[in-house]
Each structure stands twice: as C-alpha cells, then as structure tokens.
Structure 1
Amino acid sequence: MKKISLLLSLSSIFIAATAHSASTENSELAPVVVTGNRIAQPDMLATYAAEIHHADDITRSGAIDLYDYLNRYSSVTVLPSYGNPFAQLLDMRGYGVGSGHQNIVVTVNGRRLNNVDTVPQLLSSVPLLSIERIEIIKGSGSVAQGDGAMAGIINIVTKDQTGGALNIAAGSHGYSSTSVSAGITEEQFTLQLLAENGRSDGFRDQDITGEKDDSDSNNVAADLKLFPMSGVEIRAGKERSWLDTTYGDTLTLPQFNNNPEQNAGKTYTGQTFTVDVSRVGTSLQINDNLRLNADYFIEKKDSEYSSGWLSEYDYRSGDYSIAWQQNNLQVLTGVQLFDGERSSATDTTTKENSAAYIQAEYRLQDTRISAGWRREKADYQYRSSVTLLQDNHYLTAWDLGINQKISAQLTVFANLNQGFQAPDIDRFFTQLYDSSWNFIGTGFNGFIKPAESRTVNLGLNHLHSRNKLKAVIFYTDLTDEIYYNPQTFSNTNIDESHKYGAELQNQYQASEQLAVRLNYSWTRAIIDREDSGTGAFNGKDLPGVSEHSATLGVNYQASERGSFSINQIWRSKALAAEDFANNFKQKQKAFNSTDISYQHQFGKLSAYVQVQNLFDQSNGLWIRDDAIYPVNFTRTWYAGIRAEF
C-alpha cells in the first residue's frame, strides 16, 4: 500500500505543478471517444474504466508488433505462450498467465479474435501499422461482448488513411520488417490496402537437429467502404495471414541461470498458422434518431505442428444491432451469433453462442447513467467415430454505471458488472502425460461449470492542460473460476475466489520538450475455496499473477526534429503458473526491461533506432520448478525508416 500511496502522491504533484500552466490544452491529453462498449462516450465521461492508445502513440513507440506495444506501453501482461511468440498470453486484473487471455475479449473492428479452445488470440495477424486506436476496457464489457469478458475487453479500431505509408526496419538476431499501406478516400467510397512481412532468425541456440527458433509472418488486408446514397454504408473486407514459427522448450533453473540461449538437448516445436477472414456489413441511417447495423464474418484457420498434428477451424459470426437516440437518451439493442468448429484427424468439436442484449445511456446535465443486460446460450457438441457428447449453458450479464462531472477538470465514476465465461472446448478433455512429461493422449474430462464474476469499479478522471490522470480501485467476486489442475491433469472450477486492486495512469507534459507517462497496477488474486483440491488450495494466491506491475516512459524532444525516449517495464515476482498450492521451491522471477529509442524527422520521412532490454536482463516464464521458458532474455536492437506519401 505504501507504493500505491507514493504513486498517487506523485500524480497529485503532477497536477499541482500544472495549476498555473498555460490554458492551451495539449491535443495528446484531450478527451477521446471510446467505442469498445458499443455506445460511444468521451473517455473522461465514461461510466467504466478505460485506457486508450492512439496511432500517434504507436508510431512514437517504435514497437515491432502489437504484442510488443501492449507489453511495453499498456497495463496488459504479455508473455509468449509456452515459448510461442506468435500466440502470446494476455492477462489483466489478476486472472493469471495460464487462463488470463480467456477472460479478455479481443475485437478488431467488431470481430472477435477469441478462439473456441485454449489457444490465445492471434494478435500477430493484426498489423500494427493498420491500427488507429486501442481501447482497453477493464472490469466491464460483458453486455457488449458476452462470453469471456470478465476481466474486460480490448477493442482495436483500424484506420482509414489517405495516401500511403512505408516502414522498413532491420535489427539484431536477423530481424527484418517491411510494411506498406495505401488508402483512397472519395465521396462515394474508401479503399484501404496493407501488406506486411516480419522475420527473425531467433534468439536461442540450434536444437539437436540443427533447427533455430526462427519466425516468419506475412499479413495482407483490403477494406472497401461504399456510400451509394446518404445514410447508407456498405462494407467488405478480406484478410490473409501466414505465420511460421519454431520455438524452444523449457530449461531447468541452473540451465537458465547459466545460459538462457541453450537448447538443453531438446528439439524445438514448429508450428504454422494460416488465417483467412472475409467480412461484409452495412449501416443504414434511417433518420436522425435511428440507425441499423449488420456485420457478418467468416474466419478459417489451420494450425499445424511439426509433429504433424493439424487442427482446422471454421468460425461464422453475425452481429446485428439497432441504435436509437432521442435527446439525452441512447439505446442500443442487438443480437450476436457465433458458430465455431474445430476439426482434427480424430474428432470434431463445436461451440455455438447466441445472445441478445440491450444497453442504454442517459445524460442528465453533468451526470451520465448507463445500464445493460445480456442473455446468452452456449451449445457444445463433440463428435468422434464412436462418441457423441452434448451440453449447453444459459448465461446472464448485466452492467450498471454512473459518471459524475465534478468540475471542468474532474469526473468520478462507479460501475457494477456481472460477467461470465463459458468453458472452451479444450476444458472437456484431460491431457495425459507419462512420468517424464511426455504427452501420451487425451481422455474425456467431463463437462464443467461456466464461471461468473461480479466486479465493482470506483474511479476518477482528472484532465488539465498538461496532465491527464486516471485512477480506479476494483473488487471482483468469482464463482467457478475455470482452471487446469496440474496435480490431477484435469480441467475444473475454483468454487469461490476473489480479486482486488488499484490502477493508475498518468500522462504529464512537463514542458514542450519533456513528457512523462506512468501506468501502474496493484493486483491481488485469492483462491477462497476449491473443493476438488481437497482444501489444499484454500486461501492461497492464484499463481502467475504479479502483485505489482508498472511501465514508466519519458520522452524528450531534443530538437525540432529529434526526440529521445526511455521506457521501463517492471513486474514483481509471482508464483509459477502451476503453483496453486503455493509450495513450489521456485517462483516466477520479476520481469525487468529498459528500452531506449531515438527518432529523427525529415519532413514526411523519419528514421528511428531503438535498443530493447538495454541492461541484458534474463527474463523467463516459470511453469513449475525447473520448467522455465526464456522470455526477453537478451539485448536486442532495431533501426528503420518510415515514410508517408
């Protein structure tokens, strides 16, 4: 608590220091509209906790991909999924690195990236150059997005540009990246095109077969919008991604401490992804008060491992809504449908979701009140040559919020949310291993219960000409939180658990040359009761959750054209990902990385160079004792040029 008090005091000093500053508002600190919860609101007047990142923030960051940006600049914890850099684990609000990504709904222009199984959202298929805005909504969003939004949602909005942009970069460990985008905006249509390639030779030694942990990604996208008449918009888009990666296995603690680059006498895992997305949609502005929206998405994916195991995914989803506005009242109601199928050589498993929802916001002078309700059904079916299994769940979400404007600079808000997570299809199966942790097969785990959460958020927003502060405290009570029990090799539920914490964001424009940014989270996650663990987990901390997490960034405009940036990431130590009984000898080491960069502008051409992990910190992901995946364990550098035309 002393650290929280100190950080709050520092933010207060920031605010006080600007009390006599010029009244001209810095455009980077101005309120922005947030749309992730479906009803557009200025972020300072939102009835929930929101963290916003803009295209300009992304450009200045020098991040190499979306995972890199979220890890270094947001409050989201990001770690490669058991070594896989293309399908990384996400966590916020203390759900743990193992299952955290399943409690966050990630959307891109309304399309869900969440999978029907335990595979994380594939953010590698989202080109960083295409992003206009990243909205991170915490502890809310279950009415808007339903299944899996207990921790919140990450809503990504891509940009409509006029002209073109080119980015070319190269760096250590054989890294290279090329991306090009172009856009045309006319009265009757807009057209956006993008292509991106990224490569790396890897960071670890060759395995015993001579393979390196290299990677290669390719993304292409095209978006077309037509405006045939007033009030009518027709949308169509196509995306294609090819991702090929090889990643290393775990190390023991002595191996990790001696040399995290080594292969430990093991072979690496190879995996290829192909993703094909088609989408169509339309919006009809019937009159000044009524708007209709309809979007339909088809997503087909293949995931194949070097062992020959192939999984094929076929997702079909529809999102249909009616928006009505009259004076100070906005109402949005709609239906969302999802049909997801995963097929392999042995079985076909499906998960179908169908939901209806309604949301409303009412503005009364300086007060905004929001309310929403959602009813969702999840259907499952497993088919093999000898077995047919079926199950379903009916689930409810609701949300209540209020934002009160205290002054021109200060607003306070409160939000109460109920969310849920229906089990993914992998939760119905048990993974079987031998004594040497070699995978030998699967068995039927049994259908498990959906999880439910109730979260309260209390927060404030303070905006001054040179300072933007957001602070929130939260408490979440959970029933049947879903997890994998490593002692029994089965998927099951934590009967009762809770989480609480505080979050702080502060942007301070100290002068025309100097800007400071702070993003801090304090999180506790406690298992209250877990009957299937025979009481061994009761009262224990949830593993894989760092109590403290912070990113601190400083940007200095050294000249009219050149700027320096330094960014520090720190996450405190945590329990290893499988340590539910809190009795492992080894803990997750504190994550530490210092990054520096310089950018120089030459009109519409800019050059940049950056060094990540400047002090060569050895970071890793601890699964259990002597099972460590090296992560960001060596110094790397990148340099590139960016041009607009």
Structure 2
Amino acid sequence: MGYAKSLVSLALLPLLAQAAPSTNDTDEHIVVLGRQAQSVDQIAAAVSVIDQSDIERSGATNLEDLLRGRAGIQVSNSGSGPVLSLRGFAPGQAGSNVLVLVDGRRLNSQSLAAPALAGVQLANIERIEILNGSAGVLYGDQAVGGVINIITKHGVDGGQVSATLGTDHHQALGASASKGFANGLYVDTNLAWDKNDNYRDHAQSRTQSAEGRVGYKTDSRHLFAELSFNQDDRDQPGPLAFSQQDRKASRPEFANDFINEITRVGRLGWEEKLDDNWQLLVDGSSSHRKRDYNQSFMDWAVDSPYQANERLNRVSPRIKGSFEHWQWLGGIDYEHGKYDDNNTSLRVHNKRDSKSAYGTGQWQQGALTLGAGLRYTKVEDNLVYAGTYDNGVNIDNHATTWSLSGQYQLSQGRVFARVDRNVRFAKLDEQGYTPAGVVGLKPQTGYSYELGWAQPGLSLSAFRLDLKDEIVFDNNAPAPAGGLFAGANVNADKSRRYGVNIHGDHSFDALTLGFDYQWLDAKYTQGSSDGHQVPWVSKHAGGVYGDYQWAATVSTRLEYQYRGPQYLLSDNLNQAGKLGGYGLWALSGQWQQGPWQVVLRADNLFDKHYADNAQYNAYGENAWYPGNGREVNLTGRYSF
C-alpha cells in the first residue's frame, strides 16, 4: 500500500470509526497510554494500573521487584538490568517487542540495547499503566507484546526526600520537588543516587539521575521543556557454567567486563485546545545514549572495550477531535537515528529514518463502543558494518498495521474484543549481521487477538498472538561473509502464542488480598522447530499478595511470585530439558505518621536458589545467571 493511499485512508477514518466523547476532568480512572486520555472503561483491552499508593504499599525499592509477577509481566536479568516481557517473548526479543514509555516517550531504541530502566525512580512515579497485547496503530514498531507506560509526578505542589540502606552495601538517596504558580507556570525537579555491591562478586552498580521540567499550563494550553541526565555504571559478573553452583561467584575470565552508560534527553511539548472539539498536540525529543562496555558471552571471553553512541531525534504532531458520539486521533511520527560503534574490529556507522502516518477512531452509542485504526510506516536504513557491509548498503522496508475493537458495558463490568496487526522492524545492529547472501531482514509481522471481561476487582482475558518472520539471533545460522562470530540474525519460523490472564483483588476491612495469574503456551508452528516450545517462556506465572492494616500507622504486606519451568534460551529444539520453576517470597512492613514514612522490605525471603537467565550451548556446557539471594532494605521518606 502506497504512502499517498494510506493518507487518504486516514482521512476517511473519522467517517468509518467514531468514539465516545472524551472528558477534560481527570481522576483515578484516567489512563494516558501516551496518545490520549481515556477512562479504563473506555479502552477495549486488558489494561492494568499500578498507582502510587500500591507502589508505596509494596515497599519495593526498584522497578524489577515491583513488576515481577504483576499483570502478566515476566522479568529476566543477566546483570545488565531488568528486561520486561509480555505475551511470551524471551529476554533477547522482549526489549524489541515490548514497548516501554516514560510519560509517553519511548525508552526503546533503534539498536539492540534494552530500554534503560535504571534511571526511573519509584519515588517519582505517579502510576504505571500496562497494556497487554499489541498496539500497532497507536505506536507502530515494537508494540507487539504490549506497552508499559510509566507516568511521573508533574505540576503538583510538594516533594519528597528519601534514603535507603540495605544488604550488600546498598545505599540510595532521592529528592523531588514541584511548585506551581498562580499564573500557570510550574517547575519540577528530581534527583537520585544509588550504589549497590549487589548479590554476586564483581557486580557493583552505581546510578545517578537528574531531571528538570519547566511548564506553563492553562485550561486551553500546555507548554513544557524537559531535560534529563542518567548515568548507569555496572560491573558484569558474567554467566556461570551449570557445573558451577556458587551463586555469588564470578568467573575470573570475565574480570574486566563492565557496562557504563550515560543518557541525555531534551524534550519539548505543546498542547493547544483549538476549540470545543479539536485539540493539537506536538511532542519532540532529542536523546544521546553513550555506552562504554566490555561484555563476554558464555565460553567466549572478551577483553576489547567497545564504545557505542546512539543519537535519536523524534517529533510527533497529532490532532484529536471529540464530538457527540465519536472521537478521532491522527498524527505523524518521525524518527531519525544514528548508531556508531568505534571498536577497531567492529566498525559500525548506521543511520535510520522512520516515517509513519496513523489515524484511529471510536464510536459510542449507549453501552456499545466500536473502534478502528490504521498506520503506515516506511523505514530507510543506511548501514556500514565492518566485514559484512564495508562499502555500505541501503535497505528500505514498509508495513501497514490496523486494528478493530469492540466493547459492551454490562450491568456488572464490560466485555471487549480486539484484533490488531502488529509490526517490528529489525534493529540497526540486527540488519548489519545477517547470513551470507541475505541483504536485510524482512519486517516481523503478526496478528493479536483478544477477548476479555472486566469489572472492578476482577478481570479475565484470553489472547492469541501469531507471528511471521520473527526476528531472532540463530546460533546455528551461517555467519555473514567476513563475520566475526558464529550465527546470525534471521527471520525465524512462524510462531504462535496463546493464553489466559486473570487478575483479582478484594478488601475485607483491614485485609486486602490480590492475585495475578497467566497461562501461556508459546510454540513454533513452521520449519525445523515446528511444534517446539519457545525458549524461556513459562506456561504458568503469577503471584498473590496480602496487605494488612494493623493500625492507622502500621501495615504489612506479604507477596509470593511464581514462575514455572522453561526451556533454556537458544534451545529452539527443546533438547536440554526444562529448567525448574521457582517461587519467591517478599515481606514488607511500613510505618507512617504524618509526613514521615519508614519501610522495611525483604526480597527472596527464604534465599531461593534460581536462574534469572540461562543459555543453551550446543558446543559446550550450558550457562546460567543466578538470581539475587535474600535482600533487605530499609527506606525512610519525608514528604512536604
């Protein structure tokens, strides 16, 4: 489908699909999934919201502990930071198939580097929105398994200072403050510092972040400018062979491994109410992510530091219309990225331009809501990759995504159904390392189907995700001509994932109980891996928790998080057998009196022995990354 034809289709969308009127009033039910504000009841999808009070009650000190086992999320960590997976993607693919946003700004990059989560401080989070399932029209590339949108605190008078002390010499400090003025101006600031020796030897981490925003907001206009800085330095203990059972150990050949990363972001935003029906929104950002690293893999020890630089400029103008029975949103997304790696043996100079036009609409009449959307994306890559594309190569791809949805309000809750065509384009460094004779990978495409029912305190959804040309790294694929190591990035066999998510919570006076459960079956359905399970995806996962309010100032929380057995990563033929499942307990207690709060939390309460990441090796011994042992943290906060 051509670009011009897509634009014509977008122009016709308001006539084809219309929506419920939006509201300018905000309350605890409003969800902002990066594009428009809606009530949870207006979204025909499985949506979960973790609000500020839930974050504080959990006692968690980082995103990894907060999200593990919640809302269908499976978490893995190989020492370089948590990777969040939705709908059955292994860690190597999750960072490219699950979109992570902060206030609607993408953390996912055009390279294989996973979203940088270390700079996101829980004390600065207002809420976390989790959309299970594809969002190919609203977000396009990479929104395949779902979207996680982290909303930070802005424009509310007040602030907080906090300090944390914990096991493994964990120390953290944080401070945030916001001030609004009568003329509409407001100022937000956020500072954080964290140092942790962590559970394993040679695994120290040191992070620091700073963010500032200046804005002007009235009933019809909102302007803001934002600057942020984040530095994340991590020593890398590397994997252990399966025969090595000392969980704290680091292999001596990995003694020089590290990742040091600095990210700088500038952002501008403008929202203008044109009249009673139309609103203009423009968002633009410029980021620079610098990574110095020396990282080894299984039996391959590296002692050659790399330096990678990734620059990304984005602009997203869009317009929103709201009328009696319908709502329309349309816009353009443009990205220009540049990725360089100056290692002498891996000379990389890659560029990408991505252009998208999209439109989506909903129509509501009584209890019935119908929606539809369409997006067209064109991606142009210019690659220089030592050994494979020494003289450079140009690769162009395009894709069309669409969605259809419906919802009906019942006397108790709502039922909804949706189908979404999704897309993922190969990352820049994936395009540069393909099998000999293969110039560029095809876009990964798929269909997401979902049927669900939800009411306050209980929700149930069933889903299916079919993928074609899934983009993965295959250790057994022929290396590129001039390639430096075995294997290559390929368009893999077809795969399908289907499953069920169930969530519930209920309060009994002082006691609140809640649970999340996911059953997920992920299989290849074509080629040499036909009928085999997708590695590192558990069929059963979830968690339960209980909160008890002992007195007005004292409460406790007990959590249990479970993840079932899974095949090792890269074991596409399921030859090595499954790694056993595990359950983790966490216990926290908090005291709050006026502006003061003290929280004590123990993670992995019974010091469970488990793997947070494990790799199959057809040519040697399998490898694993131990999960953290017991951790205890004491946090004090003062709010003003």
Give the TM-score, by structure 1 length: 0.87
Q: Which whole-Å CA distance do the structure 2 matches of 1:185 and 1:362 have between them?
A: 37
Give the structure 1 partner of residue 449 of structure 2.
Answer: 456
3-state SS, counterpart of residue 470 of structure 2: strand
Q: Which whole-Å CA distance do the structure 1 matches of 2:140 and 2:432 have between them?
A: 24
Give the superposition deviation at 1:475.
1.1
Q: Which whole-Å CA distance do the structure 2 matches of 1:146 and 1:139 have between them?
A: 13
1:271 is aligned to 2:271: no
Give the structure 2 partner of residue 222 of structure 1.
Answer: 212
Match of 1:611 among 570, 595, 602: 602
Give the structure 1 partner of residue 341 of structure 2.
Answer: 344
> Which residues of 2 match residues 206-605 of structure 1 at below 5 A?
212-227=202-217, 231-256=220-245, 259-268=246-255, 269-306=257-294, 307-345=304-342, 346-383=347-384, 386-407=390-411, 409-430=412-433, 446-463=439-456, 468-488=457-477, 489-509=487-507, 511-530=508-527, 535=528, 537-585=529-577, 587-605=578-596
Aligned length: 582
The unaligned stretches of length 5 or more in structure 1 are 1-29, 206-211, 432-441
Q: Which whole-Å CA distance do the structure 2 matches of 1:564 and 1:230 have between them?
A: 41
Match of 2:96 among 93, 102, 110: 102
Change (3 A) 1:137 1:608: same
Q: Which whole-Å CA distance do the structure 2 matches of 1:36 and 1:402 have between them?
A: 18
Is the Cα–Cα contact under 8 Å of residues 34 and 104 in structure 2 kept in the other structure? Answer: no
1:165 is aligned to 2:143: no
Give the superposition deviation at 1:260.
1.0
1:184 is aligned to 2:173: no
Deviation per CA, 1:530-584, whole angstroms, max 9, x where unpaired?
3xxxx2x111111110001111111111111100101111100100011001112
Deviation per CA, 1:143-193, whole angstroms, max 9, x where unpaired?
111001111211121112311101111000010111100000223211110
Q: Which whole-Å CA distance do the structure 1 matches of 2:436 and 2:235 have between them?
A: 28
3-state SS, counterpart of residue 144 of structure 1: coil
Q: Which whole-Å CA distance do the structure 2 matches of 1:54 and 1:631 have between them?
A: 31
Does 52-61 or 617-626 show the bigger shift? 617-626
Give the superposition deviation at 1:37.
6.3
Q: Which whole-Å CA distance do the structure 2 matches of 1:606 and 1:560 have between them?
A: 13
Deviation per CA, 1:331-369, whole angstroms, max 9, x where unpaired?
011000111111122221122211000011111111111
3-state SS, counterpart of residue 123 of structure 1: coil
Give the superposition deviation at 1:31.
6.8
Is the Cα–Cα contact under 8 Å of residues 142 and 152 in structure 1 kept in the other structure? Answer: no
Q: Which whole-Å CA distance do the structure 1 matches of 2:437 and 2:157 have between them?
A: 53
3-state SS, counterpart of residue 494 of structure 2: strand
Give the structure 2 partner of residue 17 of structure 1.
Answer: none
Is the Cα–Cα contact under 8 Å of residues 385 and 432 in structure 2 kept in the other structure? Answer: no
Corresponding letter in the other structure for 1:248:
P
Is the Cα–Cα contact under 8 Å of residues 67 and 124 in structure 1 kept in the other structure? Answer: no
Give the superposition deviation at 1:444.
8.7
Give the TM-score, by structure 2 length: 0.88
Is the Cα–Cα contact under 8 Å of residues 241 and 274 in structure 1 kept in the other structure? Answer: yes
The unaligned stretches of length 5 or more in structure 2 are 1-26, 295-303, 478-486
Superposed CA RMSD in Å reads 1.8
Is the Cα–Cα contact under 8 Å of residues 338 and 352 in structure 1 kept in the other structure? Answer: yes
Following TM superposition, the consecutive aligned residue runs of length 4 or more in structure 1 with deviations greater than 4 angstroms are 442-445
Give the superposition deviation at 1:287.
0.9
Is the Cα–Cα contact under 8 Å of residues 428 and 445 in structure 1 kept in the other structure? Answer: no
Is the Cα–Cα contact under 8 Å of residues 100 and 149 in structure 2 kept in the other structure? Answer: yes
Give the structure 1 partner of residue 47 of structure 2.
Answer: 50
Deviation per CA, 1:392-438, whole angstroms, max 9, x where unpaired?
1111111111110111x32100011110101111222449xxxxxxx
3-state SS, counterpart of residue 442 of structure 2: coil
Deviation per CA, 1:465-494, whole angstroms, max 9, x where unpaired?
xxx111100011211111111222111122
Give the superposition deviation at 1:65.
1.7
Corresponding letter in the other structure for 1:566:
L
Q: Which whole-Å CA distance do the structure 2 matches of 1:421 and 1:520 have between them?
A: 27
Corresponding letter in the other structure for 1:305:
Y
Q: Which whole-Å CA distance do the structure 2 matches of 1:110 and 1:562 have between them?
A: 35
Give the structure 1 partner of residue 4 of structure 2.
Answer: none
Q: Which whole-Å CA distance do the structure 2 matches of 1:522 and 1:182 have between them?
A: 42
Q: Which whole-Å CA distance do the structure 1 matches of 2:470 and 2:164 have between them?
A: 43
Corresponding letter in the other structure for 1:447:
G
Corresponding letter in the other structure for 1:251:
L
Is the Cα–Cα contact under 8 Å of residues 573 and 589 in structure 1 kept in the other structure? Answer: yes
1:204 is aligned to 2:208: no
Q: Which whole-Å CA distance do the structure 2 matches of 1:397 and 1:126 have between them?
A: 31
Give the superposition deviation at 1:318.
0.5
Q: Which whole-Å CA distance do the structure 2 matches of 1:220 and 1:589 have between them?
A: 41
Q: Which whole-Å CA distance do the structure 2 matches of 1:627 and 1:234 have between them?
A: 53
Q: Which whole-Å CA distance do the structure 2 matches of 1:158 and 1:230 have between them?
A: 21
**Aligned-pair identity (%):** 23
Give the superposition deviation at 1:230.
5.2
Does 117-126 or 620-629 show the bigger shift? 620-629
Corresponding letter in the other structure for 2:252:
G
